[in-house]
Amino acid sequence: MSCGEPHATPCVEVLGAAVFLIDGEIEEVSRVRDIETHLSECPPCKSEMEHERKMHQMLHDVLTRSCCETAPPEFHQQLAMQLAAMRHQGNDIFTEFTRTEISIQIDEFGSVESHEITIETTQEFHFPNE
């Protein structure tokens, strides 16, 4: 993408730095200033940067919702009562945790590759008979 006009910082360089700029990973103040100058002069790059920001925010919102959910208080109470009942009966308690790690990679052509790794852990808890 290019507006066809010459710039001190080429369009390809600005677009290649878009994600780093959005994530705040560019530490050189002069580099950030050069990119911002380019964006003020180049409507296609500015539009692409706005699109990248929206996509970044959307991905952040989706991951935040899916990764930060909490169980309702009623569930905690019900689980505590069931565990207490099992404990009084002298039963062992098995818990299984499943975690899925997802990595998303986007190449320079915008193709998305995602990889999932599921990790399962089972733990056994023994409560001594009282």
Q: What is the pLDDT of residues 58-109, one digit of tens each?
A: 887 777 666 656 677 888 788 788 877 877 776 666 566 566 666 666 666 7
* Same domain, residue pair 11 and 36: yes
Using the predicted structure, report yes or no on whether residue 33 has a pLDDT greater than 90: yes
* Same domain, residue pair 57 and 82: no
* Same domain, residue pair 97 and 65: no
* Same domain, residue pair 79 and 119: yes
* Same domain, residue pair 32 and 7: yes
Q: Are 47 and 13 in contact (CB under 8 A)?
A: no
Q: Are 104 and 113 in contact (CB under 8 A)?
A: yes
Degrees to nearest 5, angle at CA 20 with 110 and 54 = 60
- Number of domains forming the structure of the chain: 2
* Same domain, residue pair 49 and 82: no
Residue 36: the pLDDT is: 93
Reported as type and span, the H/E element at residue 103 is: strand 93-106
123 is in which domain, residue-wise? Answer: 71-130
Of 69, 95, 122, which closes a domain? 69
- Report the predicted TM-score, pTM, of the whole model to 2 decimal places: 0.48
* Same domain, residue pair 103 and 57: no
Other beta carbons less than 10 A from residue 93's beta carbon: 13
Tokens of 110: 């915008």
* Same domain, residue pair 11 and 55: yes
The CA distance from 39 to 34, in Å, is 9
Scanning the structure block, which residue is given the tokens 């710039």?
A: 7
Instruction: Kindly indicate the confidence band of residue 124, based on its pLDDT and cuts at 50, 70 and 90.
Output: low
Using the predicted structure, report yes or no on whether residue 130 has a pLDDT greater than 50: no
* Same domain, residue pair 62 and 94: no
* Same domain, residue pair 80 and 30: no
What burial class does residue 50 get, using C-beta atoms within 10 Å of its C-beta: 0-12 exposed, 13-18 middle, 19+ buried?
exposed
